[in-house]
């Protein structure tokens, strides 16, 4: 055990010189000094609790977005399947064989055109040199992509 010299008592004059700092005790300390550590601990607890709530909320959002993505992927697959079916049906309805069957079924009296009913028009001759009215012009200095 160490031996310490006894503490010397301050005189009234010495107390006044140091502003009475040594004479203060816990009861005379301000509330901010006494409650400072408690406020810091409360703030730290609130920060940790807020972070935890934010983490749980974020995980919930991720789960809900995952559910929405799965539902929309299923809907997309259904729509793609329907689109393929309708495309196949459209190509079948446009086929010459199917069109011929429908015309016969409706008794419209349609038949292929006779060669005497077809009028052939000659195509205009193409000149070797393009005229400015045939093509759009580009501003000078630009190149084609």
Q: What is the mean pLDDT of residues 71-95?
A: 97
Q: How far apart are CA 23 and CA 34, in angstroms?
A: 17
Q: What share of residues in the chain are helix, strand, coil (percent, to 5)?
A: 60, 0, 40
34-44 residue pLDDT tens: 788 889 999 99
Q: How far apart are CA 59 and CA 54, in angstroms?
A: 9
Q: How far apart are CA 15 and CA 19, in angstroms?
A: 6
Selection from 84, 64, 82 nearest residue 74 by Cα = 82
Q: Is the pLDDT of residue 51 over 60?
A: yes
Q: What is the mean pLDDT of residues 51-66?
A: 97
Q: Is the pLDDT of residue 1 over 70?
A: no
Cα distance between the two ends of the chain? 95
Mean residue pLDDT across the chain: 81
Beta carbons of 43 and 35 less than 8 angstroms apart = no
């Amino acid at each position: 055990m160490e031996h310490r010299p006894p503490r010397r008592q301050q005189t009234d004059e010495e107390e006044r010189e140091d502003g009475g700092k040594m004479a203060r005790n816990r009861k005379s300390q301000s509330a901010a000094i006494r409650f400072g550590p408690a406020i810091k601990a409360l703030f730290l607890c609130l920060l940790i609790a807020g972070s935890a709530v934010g983490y749980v909320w974020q995980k919930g959002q991720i789960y809900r977005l995952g559910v929405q993505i799965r539902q929309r992927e299923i809907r997309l697959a259904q729509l793609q399947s329907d689109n393929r079916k309708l495309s196949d049906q459209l190509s079948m309805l446009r086929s010459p064989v199917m069109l011929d069957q429908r015309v016969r079924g409706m008794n419209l009296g349609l038949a292929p055109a006779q060669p005497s009913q077809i009028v052939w028009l000659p195509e205009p001759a193409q000149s070797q040199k393009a005229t400015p009215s045939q093509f759009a012009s580009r501003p000078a200095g630009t190149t084609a992509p």
